[in-house]
Amino acid sequence: MAEQPREDLVNLTIDGRPVSVPKGSLIWAAARKLGIEIPIYCYHPKMEPLGACRMCFVAVEKMPKLATACTTVVTEGMVVRTDTPAVKKGRQGTLEFLLINHPLDCPVCDKGGECDLQDFTLRHGPGGSRFDVSKRHFAKPIPVSEQILLDRERCIACQRCARFCQSVAMEDGLAMQERGFRTEVGVDPAAPFDSIFSGNVVEMCPVGALTAKSYRFVSRPWELKKTGSVCGLCSVGCNVRVDVRVDKVLRQYSRPNDDVDDGWLCDRGRWELDAINSQERLRTPLIRKDGLLQPASWDEAMRLVAGRLREIAERDGPGAVGGIGSTHTTNEEAYLFQKLLRAGLGTNNVDHHHGRFPAAAPGAVLPWAWTDSIAGLERASDILILGADPYHRQPIVDLRIRKAIRAGARVHIVTPEPNRLDRLAATVLRYTPGHTGEIARALLNVVTAEGLTRGEFAAQRAATVEARRASVANDTPEQVAETAGIESAALRALARDLAGAEAAVILYDEMATREPSGATLAADLLDLALLTGNFGRPGAGVGPLMEDNNSLGARDMGLLPDTLPGYRLVADQDARAALGAVWGATLVGEPGQTYEEMLGGGVKALYVLGADPARHLADAQLTHLNGFEFLVVQDMFLTETARRADVVLPAVAYTEKDGSFTNTERRVQRVRQAMQPLPGAKADWEILVGVARALGLSWRYLTPAEILSEIGRTVPLYAGASRRALGELGACWPLSPGARTPEGRPTVSGSPFLTWEMFERGVAPSGVSGATGAAGPELAVARGREE
């Protein structure tokens, strides 16, 4: 973050120590910068100040009474004291009142050991109580949602939970009921608390009033091993703290990274951990003998895999072997998987299940890259959600959109099904499922036909704009309305709104590109953004919301049949030679088979890493999985695909290994091992190294850090990447090596948004491709500058 300009800084003194903070800061934030604790209950840095608990009293020179540090803005020359007798007395009085009816049940309270009331009473409270009357009691616990229980007598009425529901989640939920000493948290029976963000109120509750069913009476905070990592349950990549007791993940808490999650976490990331803790996970390799999968040793299994793959490749040619990768494994594992197939077996038959993105031309913007960022949504004036449901699929993106709405953004929801953002949207349009691509072309039709293009990009390409207009001439809103069942007038109005927006962001679901009309969806929306000037700056851009935690990383690492890592074409001789020199191999220049072609019987031996292709096959097609001469599956569970395998190799969960993920906004982030691997299972990268060595390859990787360093040397978009350089918060590609820190730690600088000039200058390697299709008229505008 850039240093605050000097003229925007305010100078003050707290407890005799000078400090400079940005104009508009609160006393509490200034004290925190100095490491001075001012206790708070009602205040939360991500919500507007309230000043209800009166716990943060401070003395300010020239003020006749004590001030609340959470509501008082700093001024030039202000003198603050946090330790005067009056301040101490005020805090003691507040705590004494709070403790009058608060039960003394710390030994059994789930919050004990991480409770602010407990801690602040110890550090700031009275030594004893003057209250000798019976405390109040309530029936307990009261369920306020399917996941959360309320102990009313513990509540201190700080109002954090109710304010979160109302002002952050902007949904029905918890509310303060009654008045005075009868004030308590409650739920309106007519408005159930079913928000996917509900778990945040448990984490922010300063006492044990709100607790999670899944954690109640399960453990104590001091028994937990706490590790900072990244959530692996969707493509947002929220930063989390993984809490483990012995060999079980009990919960994930938020670990603020303002650029990604803004300090929040959805309930999926917080509590859906059953797969990690499941007793059904595989613990030993399995080999099919006499028609049945039977336990085997690791050496036997890896020798068999290597031997059979080599045998089939030598007998029928390398093209008879293929691999299907995963959108859940780490970047390091995806990189090694395609390297094993290309350098070890001599085939480009490697792919994964993904959206259908058109090929890009040299010097073009990559059509599968989100050109802005999650944080950039806050600066948008308009946000179009087309065929996507971020609330259920990328929840924290939905929460960031709500924050943008609070800042004045207008949201346009165009989806087949009702969306949780509908009631907050400026535009709500429904259409028949499967027609997302037609909607995009209709928007482009209006912009080009009505002359609504703007910006330098469009101005420099008059001929190309005209060609683009002709390509969508038949896709008028009126014609699309007949097939897609959408209001044509409203669609025209939406196109005009986007064209005239100060800064618009266009988001769509990656899997919408697999619809019958979605073949050109990514290219059409990219062109729409470019032609309306909504590109290349914060708060304006376009991109897909990816399916899984490492969907983008899988593409980046080369799990595509016609591209090497970093989107260099396999047909590019120079790229093959450069990468082959590092790998010590001669790489094939012929593109390989796609996901569908391999599953359709295009290969005789198939290696499946962390995927379950059976999920994407109709019942009648499942027999295709029985037709392979040799099928290897590497997974945590005995999936439907694994049940048909000849060899099954047990892998570990993301909480049991180190590595990195790349989220939907191109941010590369470190994943840390939070617990010991399940006995008998191995990390995917370890298994791949073992198979490679059994094939005779001299792979010497000992840690994922060594693999990431190689990626940083060989993949241009990840230049300079290493575990130390990525740091705690990660960075958005394209990366470039930065200056070392004073301590000597390497760094990388990222790109929070992309510009079309960056691609013209060659930030992306020449000869990039999207693995499906050829560049055609639909990408006419997304190309480089016209000659």
Q: Which amino acid type is present at position 584?
A: G
| 3-state DSSP helix/strand/coil % of the chain, to nearest 5 | 35, 20, 45
The closest alpha carbon to 598, from 611, 580, 586, belongs to 611
Q: Between β-strands 79-81 and 9-14, what pairing exists: parallel, antiparallel or unpaired?
A: parallel
Q: Which percentage of the chain shows pLDDT scores above 70?
A: 95
Q: How far is CA 574 from the centre of its chain?
A: 34
Give the whole-angstrom CA distance, residue 389 versus residue 433.
13
Q: Are residues 450 and 527 both part of a single domain?
A: yes
- Grouping H, G, I as helix, E, B as strand and the rest as coil, residue 504 is strand
Judged against a pLDDT cut of 50, whether residue 781 lies above it is answered with no
184 and 327 inside one domain: no
Tokens of 461: 């390409």
Q: 575 and 532, same structural domain?
A: no
- Mean pLDDT throughout 286-309? 97
Concatenated DSSP letters for 154-183?
G-----HHHHIIIIIS-SS-EEEES-GGG-
The answer to whether residue 493 scores a pLDDT higher than 50 is yes
CA 39, 45, 51, 53 torsion-angle sign: negative
Q: Helix (H, G, I), strand (E, B), or coil: what is residue 410?
A: strand
232 and 326 inside one domain: no
DSSP code for 510: G
**What pLDDT was estimated at residue 767?**
36
- 273 and 290 share a domain? no
Instruction: Report if residue 605 sits inside a domain.
Output: yes
d(CA 455, CA 537): 12
Phi, psi values for residue 386, rounded to 5°:
-115, 115
d(CA 533, CA 116): 49
- The β-bridge relationship of strands 563-564 and 568-569 is antiparallel
- Please report where in the chains the tokens 């062109």 appear, as a residue: 527
Domain CATH number, residue 200: 3.30.70.20
pLDDT, position 363: 62
SS3 state of residue 397: helix
723: which 2 tokens?
């575990």
The answer to whether residue 777 scores a pLDDT higher than 80 is: no
- What is the structure's pLDDT at 772? 33
Task: List the structure tokens of 496.
Answer: 């005009």
Are the C-beta atoms of residues 153 and 103 closer than 8 Å to each other? yes
Same domain as 158, residue 261: yes
Residue 418: phi, psi to the nearest 5? -55, 145
Least confident stretch, 399-408, 497-506, 619-628: 619-628
pLDDT tens for residues 536-586?
A: 888 999 999 999 999 999 999 999 999 999 999 999 999 999 999 999 999
User: Among residues 51, 83, 115, which one ends one of the domains?
Assistant: 83
pLDDT on residue 768: 36
What does pLDDT average to over the chain?
Answer: 92
CA distance 318 to 64: 84
Assess contact for 784 and 361: CB atoms under 8 A. yes
Domain span holding position 541: 375-549+777-784
CA torsion sign, 777 to 781 to 783 to 787? Answer: positive
Residue 227: pLDDT over 60: yes
Say if residue 661's pLDDT is above 50: yes
Q: Does 785 score more than 60 pLDDT?
A: no
- Phi–psi pair at 283, nearest 5 degrees: -125, -5
Average pLDDT in the 53-63 region? 95
Residue 64: CB partners within 8 Å, gap ≥ 6? none
Q: How far apart are CA 391 and CA 410, in angstroms?
A: 17
**Cα distance between residue 190 and residue 601, in whole Å:** 55
Residue that is written with structure tokens 């914060």 in the block = 538
Q: Which residues of 423-443 are buried (b: 16+ CB within 10 A; e: fewer)?
A: ebbebbbbbeebbbbbbbbbb
Pair (242, 115) in one structural domain: yes
The span from the CA of 143 to the CA of 150, in Å, is: 6
pLDDT value, residue 739: 76
- Before 39, cis peptide (omega within 30)? no
**According to the model, what pLDDT value does residue 746 have?**
86
* Cis bond upstream, residue 516 (ω within 30): no
Q: Mean pLDDT across the stretch 700-723?
A: 96
Taking the C-alpha atoms of residue 487 and residue 572, their distance in angstroms, rounded to an integer, is 47
- Give a yes or no: residue 666 inside a domain: yes
Instruction: Report, as an integer, the average pLDDT of 408-426.
Output: 97
Q: Which helix (H) or strand (E) holds 489?
A: helix 488-500
Mark which of 684, 715, 746 sits at the end of a domain. Answer: 715
Instruction: Measure the CA–CA gap between 653 and 275, rounded to whole angstroms.
Output: 8
Strand order in the sheet with 292-295: 292-295, 286-289, 647-650, 630-635, 605-609, 321-324, 350-351
CA distances from 354 to 560, 675, 771 (A): 10, 30, 10
pLDDT at residue 3, rounded to an integer: 45
> Are 321 and 222 in a shared domain?
no
Q: How many CB atoms lie within 10 A of CB 688?
A: 29
CB contact at 8 A, 21 and 10: yes
Among 454, 441, 544, which Cα is nearest to 502's? 454
State the CATH number of the domain containing residue 20. 3.10.20.740
Task: Write down the pLDDT at residue 362.
Answer: 60
* Measured distance CA(151)–CA(135) in Å, rounded: 14
Mean pLDDT along residues 338-358: 95
What token pair was written down for 422? 């509908």
Q: Name residue 351's beta-bridge partners.
A: 324
CA 259, chain centre distance (Å): 11
What's the pLDDT score for residue 325?
A: 98
139 compared with 261, residue with greater pLDDT: 261
Question: Residue 345 has what DSSP assignment?
Answer: S
Q: What six digits make up the tokens of 110?
A: 């789930």
* Helices (H) then strands (E): counts for the chain: 24, 32
Indicate if 54 and 123 belong to the same structural domain: no
- In the prediction, which pLDDT does 21 show? 96
Q: pLDDT, tens digit, for every residue of 713-746?
A: 999 999 999 999 999 999 999 998 887 877 778 8
Helix, strand, or coil here: 749?
Answer: strand
- In a domain, residue 569? The reply is yes
Q: Are residues 304 and 256 in the same domain?
A: no
Domain end position, chosen among 715, 748, 769? 715
**757 falls within a domain:** no
Q: In this structure, what token pair is assigned to residue 739?
A: 């200056």
Q: How high is the pLDDT of residue 619?
A: 79
Does some domain include residue 722? no
Q: Assess if residue 742 is contained within a domain.
A: no
43 vs 766: which has the higher pLDDT? 43
Are 434 and 582 in the same domain? no
Tell me how many domains the chain contains: 4
Tens-place pLDDT, residues 506-548: 999 999 999 999 999 999 999 999 999 999 888 999 999 999 9
| Predicted confidence (pLDDT) per residue in 177-225, tens digit | 888 888 889 898 888 899 999 999 999 999 999 999 999 999 999 999 9
Average pLDDT over residues 623-644: 95
Nearest to 381 by CA among 357, 360, 410: 410
pLDDT at 761: 61
Q: What is the CATH number of the domain that holds 639?
A: 3.40.50.740
In this predicted model, which residue has the larger pLDDT, 786 or 68?
68
CA distance 505 to 384: 6
Report yes or no on 533 lying in a domain.
Answer: yes
Cα separation, 283 vs 677, whole angstroms: 10
- pLDDT score at 43: 95
The model's pLDDT over 88-134, given as tens digits with 9 standing for 90+, comes to 999 999 999 999 889 989 999 999 999 999 999 999 988 887 877 78
Asked if residue 292 and residue 244 are part of one domain, the reply reads no
User: Is residue 575 a contact partner of residue 569, using CB atoms and an 8 Å limit?
Assistant: yes
Q: What CATH number does residue 488 fall under? A: 3.40.228.10
Give the confidence band of 358 by pLDDT, cuts at 50, 70, 90.
confident
Signed CA dihedral, 688, 693, 699, 701: sign only: positive
* Nearest CA among 699, 586, 612, 588 for reference residue 336: 699
What pLDDT is recorded for position 740? 82
For residue 128, what pLDDT is reported? 80
Regarding predicted confidence, which is higher, 187 or 326?
Answer: 326
Pick from 231, 235, 230: which is nearest to 549 by CA?
Answer: 235
Residue 7 is predicted with a pLDDT of 57
- Judge whether 57 lies within some domain: yes
CA distance 414 to 433: 11
